[in-house]
């Protein structure tokens, strides 16, 4: 499935996916981030898409999954802020993951970024897409993509300067 | 002027009598052509040409695909068979899973004799399949066109 | 001069972290940070831009190769193999051109081709034997289908024929009986 086909067949799903994300997340900025991430994920598996009976169903599934992950990480962040000890919530995989991280330093720079930022960096620096093109593939405004690219790059800079 | 009109009429008359033949297997033929540009459909086109005239004696086209990768293609073929059925002089159908499917159709078209066969490779009907094609798909459609066809003696 | 140059770079730098630079402008930044003589205040950025330039691509590649998820679809592999085989065959043919001139130049399978994934590949002459086999197999399968389909018809005909024979036999027996009866009647 090439770019044009992707834009014609997949990008129009945006309305449905935003609707789905909005039901689970309050912050419109989070909704936009999730939707961008879903489209970029779909873009990277575009060759497999023809195997699915319904790309729409798949996209909705991914959206829900990412929203739930985001909610869980919210909980985690809240707990951290509220100054209670980092109690391992049994069903929160992010806690143990972050703990491991601070101890082992094995993770690559990229892996320390949230999924969306990782993917945007990949689109820009590995696949060579311009911001405008990424926006077209996700049905976003270039501004919305720029915001996430900026965040990603700033985060990378932080991680490097910390080292 | 007159001669031209006469010739024109003669051409139309001849064309008319052939019209039935020429319309034979058009749907199947068109669909086979379409398959050449489809993703995940394997096509082989083999000509066998006469040493003297350099013209093709036979044309064998084999199309193989899996219903997993091309869910609608089998139905498209069945529709095409259905549409061309009237023009076929030999029709063999088979029943599979309670469904009547075209198995073998034979047409006379101009001076050619054309036969189509639809096979479900998973069924292994008892004769050997081409090893190198099998792994790619479950459905195969073969077309054999014999040009300047004379008689049954042409069967390999 | 120098400060101007740095102003330009600093501007690019700021826009880079705002996500506003184009690919071309980013190449300029990478080229700048590859220089050996960097001013003190910009030196810390060198590893960062090294990462953006090649580090990310490297990490992605490592991730892909360790995952081993990239399965080459079978048909793609076939096309590659087919093309490689075709290419090496063509090379072989080319190298052996002199010998071939002796034989008849005619190729009865000229124009034959295969298509994989919408890509057409002409079949080279050297695979002629296989093509012949393929034609025969296709013809054989068509022929067998016709023959198998005729079987019930043939059986039907055979049965009708058998019935006819039996009827004739029966008639014969009847007339024999009649004849015998006639003979004994007279007695």
- The answer to which of A8-22, A78-92, C99-113, C171-185 has the lowest mean pLDDT is A78-92
**Chain C: residue whose CA lies nearest to B135:** C74
- Residue C104's pLDDT is 61
CB of B46 closer than 8 Å to CB of B60: yes
CB of A152 closer than 8 Å to CB of A117: yes
- Residue C77's pLDDT is 52
- Split at pLDDT 50, 70, 90, the class of C129 is low
Q: Which domains does chain A have, with CATH numbers?
A: 3-162 (1.10.10.10)
Mean predicted confidence (pLDDT) in C38-60: 90
Average per-residue pLDDT for chain C: 78
If you count them, how many residues does chain B have? 156
Chains with at least 3 CB pairs less than 8 angstroms from chain B:
A, C
C94 touches B at CB < 8 Å: no
pLDDT tens digit sequence for C137-146: 888 888 888 8
Q: Which of A:104-143 have CB within 8 Å of C? A: 108-110, 121-122, 125-126, 128, 130-131
Mean predicted confidence (pLDDT) in C128-134: 76
Is the pLDDT at C186 greater than 70? The verdict is: no
CA distance B72 to chain C (A): 17
- Residue B154's pLDDT is 44
User: A51, B69: Cβ pair inside 8 Å?
Assistant: yes
Is the pLDDT at C71 greater than 60? The verdict is: no
Instruction: List Cβ neighbours of C11 (8 Å cut-off, separation of 6 or more).
Output: none
- Split at pLDDT 50, 70, 90, the class of B25 is confident
Is the pLDDT at C122 greater than 90? The verdict is: no
Neighbours of A10 (CB within 10 A): 22
- Residue B21's pLDDT is 55
Is pTM beyond 0.80? Reply is no
- Residue B10's pLDDT is 43
User: C139, B90: Cβ pair inside 8 Å?
Assistant: no
Q: Which one-letter DSSP state was computed for residue C114? A: E
Average per-residue pLDDT for chain B: 74
Mean predicted confidence (pLDDT) in C1-19: 85
- Residue A111's pLDDT is 82
- Residue B1's pLDDT is 46
**Chain C: residue whose CA lies nearest to B36:** C118
- Split at pLDDT 50, 70, 90, the class of C72 is low
- Split at pLDDT 50, 70, 90, the class of C74 is very low
CA distance C42 to chain B (A): 51
Integer Cα distance of C46 and B12 in angstroms = 81
- The answer to which of A153-157, B2-6, C30-34 has the lowest mean pLDDT is B2-6
Q: What is the ipTM of this complex?
A: 0.71
- The answer to which of A28-32, A148-152, C85-89 has the lowest mean pLDDT is C85-89
- Residue A53's pLDDT is 79
- Higher pLDDT: B95 or C167? It is C167
The torsion angle over the Cα atoms of residues C77, C79, C80 and C84, rounded to 10 degrees, is 140
Is the pLDDT at C20 greater than 90? The verdict is: yes
pLDDT tens digit sequence for B53-97: 888 899 999 998 888 788 888 889 999 999 999 888 888 887 766
- Residue A145's pLDDT is 95
- Residue A97's pLDDT is 46
- Split at pLDDT 50, 70, 90, the class of C167 is confident
Instruction: List Cβ neighbours of A110 (8 Å cut-off, separation of 6 or more).
Output: A118, A121, A122, C56, C59, C60
The H or E element spanning position B91 is: strand B88-96
- The answer to which of A19-28, A152-161, B82-91, B147-156 has the lowest mean pLDDT is B147-156
Q: Which of B21-35, B122-136, C15-29, C89-103 has the highest mean pLDDT?
A: C15-29
Positive or negative torsion for Cα A91, A95, A96, A101: positive
- Higher pLDDT: A95 or A130? It is A130
User: A51, B68: Cβ pair inside 8 Å?
Assistant: yes
Extract the tokens encoding C141: 């399968």
- Residue C86's pLDDT is 61
In chain C, domain spans? 2-67, 74-123, 128-187
- Residue C87's pLDDT is 64
- Residue A99's pLDDT is 45
Extract the tokens encoding C67: 């995952």
User: B144, C109: Cβ pair inside 8 Å?
Assistant: no
């Amino acid at each position: 499935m090439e770019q044009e086909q992707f834009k014609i067949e997949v990008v129009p799903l945006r309305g449905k996916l935003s609707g789905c994300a909005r039901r689970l997340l309050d912050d419109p900025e989070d909704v936009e981030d999730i939707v961008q991430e879903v489209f970029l994920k779909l873009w990277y598996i575009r060759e497999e898409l023809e195997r699915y009976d319904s790309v729409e169903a798949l996209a909705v599934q991914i959206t829900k999954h990412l929203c739930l992950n985001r909610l869980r990480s919210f909980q985690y962040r809240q707990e951290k802020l509220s100054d209670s000890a980092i109690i391992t919530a049994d069903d929160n995989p992010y806690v143990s993951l972050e703990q491991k991280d601070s101890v082992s330093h094995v993770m690559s720079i990229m892996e320390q970024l949230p999924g969306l930022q990782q993917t945007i960096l990949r689109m820009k620096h590995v696949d060579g897409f311009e911001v405008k093109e990424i926006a077209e593939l996700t049905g976003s405004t270039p501004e919305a993509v720029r915001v996430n690219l900026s965040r990603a790059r700033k985060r990378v800079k932080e991680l490097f300067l910390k080292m | 002027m007159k001669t031209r009109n006469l010739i024109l009429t003669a051409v139309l008359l001849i064309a008319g009598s052939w019209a039935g033949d020429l319309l034979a297997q058009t749907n199947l033929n068109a669909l086979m052509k379409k398959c050449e540009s489809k993703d995940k459909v394997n096509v082989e086109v083999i000509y066998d040409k006469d040493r003297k005239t350099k013209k093709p004696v036979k044309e064998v086209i084999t199309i193989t695909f899996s219903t997993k990768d091309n869910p609608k293609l089998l139905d498209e073929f069945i529709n095409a068979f259905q549409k061309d059925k009237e023009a076929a002089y030999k029709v063999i159908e088979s029943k599979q899973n309670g469904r009547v499917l075209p198995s073998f159709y034979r047409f006379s078209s101009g001076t050619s004799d054309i036969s189509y066969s639809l096979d479900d490779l998973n069924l292994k009907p008892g004769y050997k399949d081409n090893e190198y094609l099998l792994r790619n798909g479950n459905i195969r459609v073969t077309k054999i066109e014999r040009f300047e066809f004379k008689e049954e003696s042409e069967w390999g | 001069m120098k400060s101007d140059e740095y102003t330009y770079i600093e501007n690019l730098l700021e826009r880079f972290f705002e996500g506003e630079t184009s690919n071309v402008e980013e190449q300029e930044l990478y080229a700048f940070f590859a220089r050996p003589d960097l001013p003190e205040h910009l030196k810390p950025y060198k590893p960062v831009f090294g990462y953006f330039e090649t580090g990310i691509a490297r990490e992605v590649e490592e991730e892909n190769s360790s995952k081993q998820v990239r399965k080459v679809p079978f048909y793609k592999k076939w096309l590659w193999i087919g093309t490689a085989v075709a290419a090496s065959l063509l090379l072989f043919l080319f190298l052996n051109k002199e010998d071939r001139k002796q034989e008849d130049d005619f190729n009865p399978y000229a124009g034959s081709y295969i298509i994989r994934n919408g890509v057409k590949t002409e079949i080279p002459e050297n695979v002629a034997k296989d093509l012949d086999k393929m034609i025969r197999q296709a013809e054989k399968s068509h022929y067998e289908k016709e023959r198998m389909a005729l079987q019930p018809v043939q059986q039907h005909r055979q049965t009708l024929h058998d019935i006819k024979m039996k009827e004739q036999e029966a008639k014969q027996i009847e007339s024999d009986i009649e004849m015998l009866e006639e003979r004994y009647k007279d007695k």
